[in-house]
Amino acid sequence: MEGKQTRGRQKIAIKRIENEDDRLITFSKRRSGIYKKASELVTLCGAEVAVLVFSPAGKAFSFGHPSIESVANRFLGQNIAPNDNTHPLVEAHRKVRINELNQHHNELLSEMEAERDRGKVLKEGTSEKSSQGWWEAPIDERSLQELKQMNVMLEEFHKKLHKKINELRRNGGAASSSSFQAHTGHATNIPFCQL
């Protein structure tokens, strides 16, 4: 059995995050977490909740139940008659839809973070040895995740390479090989599979 691949959940120091991309992702994730906790408070306790957050860029985000306006009016002492015209089935459907959207939002955030991490790994792989390409780095020094990512990149490169070769072959035979050689620095006399 292999050792643990990730560091798991880490405790972070509570201080300003200097990297702007990391700061924006953290803001979005923490905001979603606050909304989720507020929604749970509403569901579990029947509380009226309002959360208002301004992003570092100054954009306002809010969550309120039954609405941000009604909670704010109640807080300010402006008791407006509650709008109780909503049918319970409509309200139940609305809550389910909000939970689905929150879940989808969290999934997208996770995907975005995974792509950002993939980009960092790729960037590190190419910048470690600037004289070598990532494909020339010793594979013994790579993690399973890095090897999987390298495999995906090689498959994508392979598809693009075959597409370009076939395109050049269709567009002129001998001229295409010199064009390909000028384009890539390699001759086309290497045997390739036809796709």
Distance CA 159, CA 98 (A): 41
64 DSSP β-pair partners: 50
Q: Using alpha carbons, select from 89, 118, 106 the residue that is nearest to residue 30.
A: 106
Q: Report angle CA 101, 102, 106 to the nearest 5 degrees.
A: 115
120-166 tens-digit pLDDT? 877 776 665 555 566 676 778 778 888 888 888 889 889 998 998 98
Distance CA 70, CA 183 (A): 65
49-95 tens-digit pLDDT? 999 999 888 889 998 988 888 888 888 887 655 555 667 777 788 88
